[in-house]
Each structure stands twice: as C-alpha cells, then as structure tokens.
Amino acid sequence: MAAELALVKGQGNTLIPMKASDIEWIQKLKPGRMVEATISQPRNYIFHKRFFALLNFAFDYWEPSAITIVEDKNFKSVRKFARFIADQSPNLRPNLQAWLNDFSKTHNSYEITPEKNFNQFRKDVTIIAGHYVSYYRIDGSVQVEAKSISFSKMDDQEFQELYKSVFNVLWKMVLSKTDMSYDEVEQILNQMLEFES
C-alpha cells in the first residue's frame, strides 16, 4: 500500500502527519510495521498555509450568481416554432403563449441553484492566474486544467509566483469589491496565520 503523506517535524525527532487523511493512513499500519519513505522538502509550509488562507478568505467573500436557467435544445426548437406560428397568425398568440407556459413546466425547462465549491474555486482561480496545462481532446475541443500545487510538483520560487498571480486575480475579481484595501487584506491574512500558530 503506497501513499504520499505530508509530515511536519515534531519534538524528539518525530514526524507528525499534517492532514486527516495522513493520520488515517498511519493509523491503519500495524504497530511495529516497517515502512519506507522518500522525504523531500520542496517549499515553505507556512507560505503554503498563507496561500490557502488567501483562497479561503476570498472564497468566503465570493458570491456567484444565484440561479441558472437550463433549457434543452428540443424546447428551444418548440418555442421558435410556436413564435413562428404566432407571427403568422397573431390571433393565436395568447393561446400559444399559454400552451408554451404549460409545456415548459413539464418538458426539459428547469432551474438549478449552483453551490459554491472550494475545490472548483481554487482550480478556476489557478487557471485564471495562468498556472494551467491544456490538452486537445479527441473531439477537437481543448481541455484546460489547473497545474498541481502539491509540494512535490512546485518549488518555493514557482509557488511564490503562483501566490502573487492568484492574489492579483482574487483582488480583481473578488476582494476589490469589498470595502477593504489591498494592504488591509494582506494585514488580515497575516493576522489569520498568527491566530493559527
């Protein structure tokens, strides 16, 4: 059984798991069981925490559109045809409108209320900040995915560049719409990290 764990050095030369999933993996090991590990220290964990504090802070302030209306193609065709008939015979317009209203209630016209999702928010912001990879799909379309921000995939310098880019995106798209200044946001992030320590 293989796993990548994030560990922090504790007192007495111990390594302490950082995430709940890391703790769960270690708890599954039988006492006395030997494991092999490849250890790396690619970047500053405190800066990693600051990045996620920024994302969480902006996510709390971000308010997406409340409702999206989704209609399928068949309903759009029926509606266009009904409008065509109404234009040809204006005296049928009230009856056609009533019929369309009834039809839309039972045929593929519905509303959804999207939920805020932190993981999607993080990926979208990372892509907008320019840290992404893109692929051609077999149908000719392009798939865009956020680059991994795992410790093993990014060194300190690349992560600092990502942080600056993400901060700028979040400032432009979310945080500038609040009553806080750029410096106040930085100060709040510093206070959040002090509180966590």
pLDDT value, residue 135: 93
Please give the residue range of the domain that contains residue 29.
1-39
pLDDT value, residue 105: 66
Q: Which of 10-24, 98-112, 134-148 is most confident? A: 134-148
Q: Identify whether residues 163 and 77 lie together within a single domain.
A: no
> How distant is the alpha carbon of residue 140 from its chain centre?
25
Q: Identify whether residues 131 and 102 lie together within a single domain.
A: no
Query: In the structure, how many helices (H) and strands (E) does the chain have?
Result: 7, 6
Q: Identify whether residues 82 and 159 lie together within a single domain.
A: no
pLDDT value, residue 41: 67
Residues 6 or more apart whose CB falls under 8 angstroms from that of 65 comprise: 114
pTM (global) more than 0.75: no
Q: Identify whether residues 13 and 108 lie together within a single domain.
A: no
pLDDT tier for residue 9 given thresholds of 50, 70 and 90: confident
Q: Identify whether residues 132 and 58 lie together within a single domain.
A: yes
Q: Identify whether residues 59 and 25 lie together within a single domain.
A: no
Residues 6 or more apart whose CB falls under 8 angstroms from that of 59 comprise: 116, 118, 121
Structure confidence by residue, pLDDT tens digits, 38-90: 877 656 777 888 899 999 999 999 987 655 454 556 666 666 777 777 666 76
Our count of domains for the chain comes to: 3
pLDDT tier for residue 10 given thresholds of 50, 70 and 90: confident
Between 74 and 148, the higher pLDDT residue:
148
Question: How far is the C-alpha of 156 from the C-alpha of 46, rounded, in Å?
Answer: 11
Pair 125, 169: CB distance under 8 Å = yes
Average pLDDT of the chain, as a whole number: 81
